[in-house]
Amino acid sequence: MSINKQQHTPAPFLERLIFNNRPAVILICTLISLFLFYQAAQVRPSTSFEKMIPLQHPYIKNMMDHRNDLSNLGNTVRIAVEAVDGDIFTKEYMETLRQINDEVFYIAGVDRSGMKSLWSPNVRWTEVTEEGFDGGEVIPQTYDGSAESLEELRNNVLKSGQVGRLVGNNFKSSIIDVPLLESYPDPQDQSRLIKLDYQQFSHELEEKIREKYQAQNPNVKVHIIGFAKKVGDLIDGLIGVVMFFGVAIAITFVLLLWFTHCFKSTLAVVCTTLIAVVWQLGMLNVLGFGLDPYSMLVPFLVFAIGISHGVQKINGIAMASGDAPDALTAARRAFRQLFIPGMVALLSDAVGFITLLLIDIGVIRELAIAASVGVAVIILTNLILLPVTISYIGISQKAVRISREEASKNHPFWRLISNFAHPLVAPISVVVALAALGGGIWYGQNLKIGDLDQGAPELHPDSRYNLDNDFVIRNYSTSSDVLVIMAKTAPEGCSSYKTLSAMDQLMWQMENTEGVQSAVSMVSVSKQVIKGMNEGNLKWETLSRNQDVLNNSIARAEGLYNGNCSLAPVLVFLNDHKAETLERTVAVAKQFAEEHNEDGLEFLLAAGNAGIEAATNEVIASSETTMLIAVYAAVVIMCLLTFRSLAATLCVILPLVLTSVLGNALMAYMGIGVKVATLPVIALGVGIGVDYGIYIYSRMETYLRQGMALQDAYYETLKSTGKAVLFTGVCLAIGVATWIFSAIKFQGDMGLMLTFMFLWNMFGAIWLLPALARFLIKPEKLRQA
Amino acid sequence: MSEPVLRRTRFDVGMEPVAASTASRLLPLSKVCALLALLAGLSLPALVQAEAVAPAKPGYAVPSERAVHSLLVDVVRAGKRLVAVGDRGHILFSDDQGQNWQQAEVPTRQMLTGVFFVDDQHGWAVGHDAQILASRDGGQTWQRQYRDLEREAPLLDVWFRNRQQGFAVGAYGAVLTTNNGGQTWEEISERLDNPDAYHLNGVTYVEGGGLFVVGELGLMYRSADWGLSWETVASPYEGSLFGVGATGQPGSLVVYGLRGHLFRSSDFGNSWQAIRLEAENGPLEFGLAGSALLEDGQLVVVGHGGSVLLSRDAGQSFTVINRADRLPLAGVASAGNGGLILVGQGGVHLATANGSELDQQ
């Protein structure tokens, strides 16, 4: 049963069921809307970390198993206070630093005992003397801001070994290290624990620290980094995206009005589509999902898809209104004509989304489910509720008149476009397309897996957070990309010589791997302490075989081994988190583990942001091909079922292939990697992109069957639906294009790629489909059928 | 250019110029040749890579490009060659005044603490696990002569009289000697009056005197009969002494240790004179760790605060600089071109004759 046959045979049952019970349809929809609106109001932003990572990957399993043992590695915020002119050894700078230190101390959620800065008493200098260790606070008790005490401070800083850690390598800034408590006692009621609110904490840092002290002392600049700050900025970015939704609605409304020339039906389309969005959000809450940075895309998509189907409905009703006695009849006729093609298009969208379930990452799966639900909802709202609504309110006479005029008048623009089906133009188009395909494949080889930018990949490279991060990396001996390898032993086994010496070898192996800056573990501390116990003699800066010496030496390595000394992390600091760097370092660590794992000593991969990214990259690399095959298989089957023709399927699918290839090339050009955020774009682009082809081809086939020549058939197709197709493409693009301006980098990437996919798929369908049809479709055959 | 580089292997060094010259000669030639060059270019990285991942022999020091920048604690000259030892069994040698270094084949991954060459071929290195290694090819390959894991302690310094007779000292009062070039080592610790087994940090020979050993708590011992008997020397100091060096004048030596303490004797330890060491901001307070007597008679001492001390009068007075990076230093040798080779944290540092950074001049 092909579409065009359907259009001429009535679909009596469903149509009768709906249009004979119009009040009931309205009532049921109202009730559902009320319920789901209530549910939608409960939806909360969720930034669950676990959903963004592949929980089934062995690295992540290892990490989750030892999560508590690694907790000391810490949730820390680092505040770097920079002296803009001169260095930190001035009275004014030290005073501002002291005030900031005190202010941070009283912010809720700060682990006060662990705070470290030049002003905290636990930051000391030590020195070996004839009597043993000598030491004191870095800021002398007698500090009074005088030149002498500042000079003493400078000497103490040099002796303290904090250069590169708490004090910048160029002495122009110093850091306040602020460990955080995930939950802290309520000041009103000490027995109750309050969970740290990252967003609020981040805002407090901005208001009480950055803004206040930069205003108070113009010679300081405050830079703040750390997980809590990043998450705070991300949540702020999420809220900003809600504004884009308003912008998308406003633009769409204006375009819709221009397209339909009818305020009533414009309002009806926007309202039913918004109802679809509310239902989708409500369903999200019913299913127990929150709104994460990825699934936030879904309301935009639902809105865009809903509008585009609404437009076709209105277009259909307006055309049907010409010879229909009343609005109800027009609505029924349009319903009869468009329900099945609408269903097919929406189902192919849904099938595209469903293939995303193949990827073992929580946020992508939720995105797949949420988007599928959203598309199902559109079938109810825009294919059923919208025509029923229009059957009551009707379409303005002006719109009907314009639609009738359009149908009869000559369209030079579409006439020009129809030349794409011309026997001389078609071969040129195909050659150009093949060249673009070849070029795209060639350039697309540069496409990388994973995040490619420095700093926090969630945020733009020039975001405040990443600039701060860049400042800290440049001025301190530190890196924000850490691969953690866990050494696991029997309880109390972590301090044995065997374990420590194996860790030491691993560290050296890693440090000799390209892309590694340095490695740190309890071994590093042990060596330093042993050297200290031997009066700073460099000849002792190595592990001892004496177990008592080792036990003593790790006493100060807090946080670098767990409570019962059965797990110790090796922190490997990387230059960057490019896929090659991760692959290379992980491979070295893996090989080392294979060679050195034995009874009672096991090296486990991996934790740290680089470990997580390595696992995510592996999952993405392995699911990319599977997903492409699945999504194309799905749309091919969909097309074969609809058209019962391989040639027709090729005409629809090949332009999509070109778009996918060029999309890859564009990503390579823009420096966007294949990652959690961009992988779904491929499925969404193909799933939604196939709509255009289905719509254009099914129309064109009708005209071909009526005996028209290819170019004439194409002209007629464009005349009746070209505008709707163009409009649909623009609508979809607007829905996602607003994302390009998101403060969150990956949302921007998603927006950019989807905009490209939607527009180029539309262009591909209009340009390439008729050219391919010239070669693949035999109109004579269709006529015989 | 002050950054020394480590050549991966001699084979590698040989390969690079060949490839470079091939490529440059091919530039003006025909396309066929260019294609061949491309092929050569393609195969070269693969070859180098295969070398880089080639694993070290089990138990041997891992070949590493970073060795030249990681902790080294002693450096000496073997004829014109420089040989440095340090962490992870690293022994590096240079034949071009320290510009380029190659890593020797060494059968240990433990830290080596001292090295001594009697001529340009024969040398010994000591280190942790009470190891003694020997080389007969100017430091390119090394064989283990002695090891004692039971001690759980390092040897800390070594000195050889000739190819046959030598002495090694170390932690917990260890003194070892050989009379057959190290084929057998005999423990002679009990010949020294050190009942509490304090660490012995340094050993050297003073012309016109004999052997001299220093250690913890200002301990000093001397032997005028090549180690057969040892006499305890009355010390002017109670803190640790990290090293001892002859000044080139008969019977004259310096000892040095914690907190900038340096003492000089011109009568083989019968009497001592404390030498005042003034840095830019007052008396030097950093520990002193190693010394060398240069060909031109200058005496250089280096220490933990990046200190470089220079004496032109056989140790009676010193000029002091603390290097800007303050990285602890442990050993020094003449580069052979007027400059100095300093080793310590951060590996090899090339320095001017007065010890400051080359590129600051």
Residue A377: inside a domain: yes
pLDDT for A459 beyond 90: no
The nearest CA of chain B is from the CA of A511 a distance in Å of 8
Task: Give the span between the Cα atoms of A457 and A455, in whole angstroms.
Answer: 6
pLDDT for B30 beyond 70: no
Residue A246: inside a domain: no
pLDDT in the model for residue A366: 86
* Mean confidence (pLDDT) of chain B: 82
Answer yes or no: are the C-beta atoms of A656 and A693 closer than 8 Å: yes
pLDDT in the model for residue A86: 82
pLDDT for B254 beyond 50: yes
pLDDT in the model for residue A361: 83
pLDDT for A780 beyond 90: no
User: In terms of domains, do A595 and A552 share one?
Assistant: yes
Instruction: Look at A99-113, A400-414, A687-701 and tell me which has the smallest mean pLDDT.
Output: A400-414
Q: Which two tokens stand for residue B71?
A: 């902790």
pLDDT in the model for residue A439: 93
User: In terms of domains, do A20 and A157 share one?
Assistant: no
User: In terms of domains, do A332 and A367 share one?
Assistant: yes
User: In terms of domains, do A680 and A771 share one?
Assistant: yes
Give residue B111's pLDDT band: very low, low, confident or very high (50, 70, 90).
Answer: very high
Average pLDDT value for residue range A529-535: 84
pLDDT in the model for residue A595: 87
Q: Are strands B100-103 and B5-7 parallel, antiparallel or unpaired?
A: parallel
* Mean confidence (pLDDT) of chain A: 84
Q: What is the DSSP letter of A45?
A: B
Give residue A785's pLDDT band: very low, low, confident or very high (50, 70, 90).
Answer: low
Which of B51, B60, B113 to substitute to test the interface with A, most A CBs within 10 Å? B113
Contacts of B110 in chain A (CB under 8 A): 542
Instruction: Look at A318-327, B110-119, B221-230 and tell me which has the smallest mean pLDDT.
Output: A318-327
Residue A743: inside a domain: yes
* Cβ separation B259–A130 shorter than 8 A: yes
pLDDT for B361 beyond 60: no
Better-scored residue on pLDDT, A194 or B358: A194
pLDDT in the model for residue B126: 95
Instruction: Look at A34-38, A374-378, A395-399, A583-587 and tell me which has the smallest mean pLDDT.
Output: A395-399
Q: Where are the strands (E) in B152-199, listed by range? A: 155-160, 166-170, 175-178, 186-187
pLDDT in the model for residue B18: 35
Task: Give the span between the Cα atoms of A355 and A357, in whole angstroms.
Answer: 5
Measured between CA atoms, the residue of chain A closest to residue B326 is A158
Answer yes or no: are the C-beta atoms of B328 and B344 closer than 8 Å: yes
Residues in chain A: 785
Share of chain B above pLDDT 70, in %: 83
How many distinct structural domains can be found in chain A? 4
Task: Give the span between the Cα atoms of A302 and A312, in whole angstroms.
Answer: 15
Instruction: Look at A494-503, A682-691, B120-129 and tell me which has the smallest mean pLDDT.
Output: A682-691
Average pLDDT value for residue range A735-744: 85
Give residue B38's pLDDT band: very low, low, confident or very high (50, 70, 90).
Answer: very low
pLDDT in the model for residue B175: 94
Which of A151, A505, A528, A539 to substitute to test the interface with B, most B CBs within 10 Å? A539
User: In terms of domains, do A404 and A485 share one?
Assistant: no
pLDDT in the model for residue B9: 40
Phi, psi dihedrals of residue A492, rounded to the nearest 5°: 65, 15
User: In terms of domains, do A570 and A657 share one?
Assistant: no
pLDDT for A462 beyond 50: yes
Render pLDDT for A347-394 as a digit per residue (tens, 0 to 9).
878 888 888 888 888 888 888 888 888 988 988 888 888 888 888 888
Render pLDDT for A197-210 as a digit per residue (tens, 0 to 9).
888 888 889 888 89
User: In terms of domains, do A200 and A115 share one?
Assistant: yes
pLDDT in the model for residue A49: 64
pLDDT in the model for residue A134: 66
Phi, psi dihedrals of residue A549, rounded to the nearest 5°: -60, -45
Q: Is A297 exposed, middle or buried, given 0-12, 13-18 or 19+ CB atoms closer than 10 A?
A: buried
Q: Which domain holds residue A290?
A: 1-41+265-409
Q: In Å, what is the CA distance from A628 to each residue of A78, A552, A622, A657, A681?
A: 42, 57, 11, 10, 11
User: In terms of domains, do A86 and A214 share one?
Assistant: yes
Give me the DSSP letters along B43-70.
Answer: HHHHHHHHHHHPPPPTTSPPP-TTGGGS
Phi, psi dihedrals of residue A381, rounded to the nearest 5°: -80, -50
Q: Say if A539 is an interface residue toward chain B (CB within 8 Å).
A: yes
Share of chain A above pLDDT 70, in %: 95
Instruction: Look at A112-126, A462-476, B60-74 and tell me which has the smallest mean pLDDT.
Output: A112-126
pLDDT for A225 beyond 60: yes
* Cβ separation A538–B149 shorter than 8 A: no
Which of B199, B219, B302 to substitute to test the interface with A, most A CBs within 10 Å? B199
Q: Which two tokens stand for residue B310?
A: 């220079």
Residues 6+ apart with CB under 8 A from B358: B1, B2, B339, B350, B351, B352
For B240, which of A535, A541, A549 is closest by C-beta distance? A535
pLDDT for B109 beyond 60: yes
Average pLDDT value for residue range A487-494: 86
Q: What is the DSSP letter of A480?
A: S
Task: Give the span between the Cα atoms of A674 and A667, in whole angstroms.
Answer: 8
pLDDT in the model for residue A783: 66
Q: Say if A512 is an interface residue toward chain B (CB within 8 Å).
A: yes
pLDDT for B91 beyond 50: yes
Answer yes or no: are the C-beta atoms of A244 and A741 closer than 8 Å: yes
Give residue B21's pLDDT band: very low, low, confident or very high (50, 70, 90).
Answer: very low
Q: Are strands B329-334 and B143-146 parallel, antiparallel or unpaired?
A: unpaired
pLDDT in the model for residue A784: 59
Which candidate, A451, A481, A450, A478, places its Cα nearest to that of A607?
A481
Residues 6+ apart with CB under 8 A from A329: A320
User: In terms of domains, do A358 and A419 share one?
Assistant: no
Give residue A515's pLDDT band: very low, low, confident or very high (50, 70, 90).
Answer: confident
Q: In what order do the strands lie in the sheet with B262-265?
A: B241-246, B253-257, B262-265, B273-274
pLDDT in the model for residue B50: 34
- Domain B67-360: homologous superfamily in CATH: YVTN repeat-like/Quinoprotein amine dehydrogenase (2.130.10.10)
pLDDT for B205 beyond 90: yes
pLDDT in the model for residue A132: 58
Render pLDDT for A258-273 as a digit per residue (tens, 0 to 9).
888 888 888 888 999 9
Residue A179: inside a domain: yes
pTM: 0.79
Residue A473: inside a domain: no
Q: Say if A542 is an interface residue toward chain B (CB within 8 Å).
A: yes
A&B contacts, CB < 8 Å? 65
For B345, which of A155, A538, A542 is closest by C-beta distance? A538
Among A392, A409, A426, residue at a domain's last position: A409
pLDDT for B34 beyond 70: no
The Cβ of residue A656 has, within 10 Å, a number of other Cβ atoms equal to 26
pLDDT in the model for residue B41: 36
Residue A637: inside a domain: no
Q: Are strands B5-7 and B72-78 parallel, antiparallel or unpaired?
A: unpaired
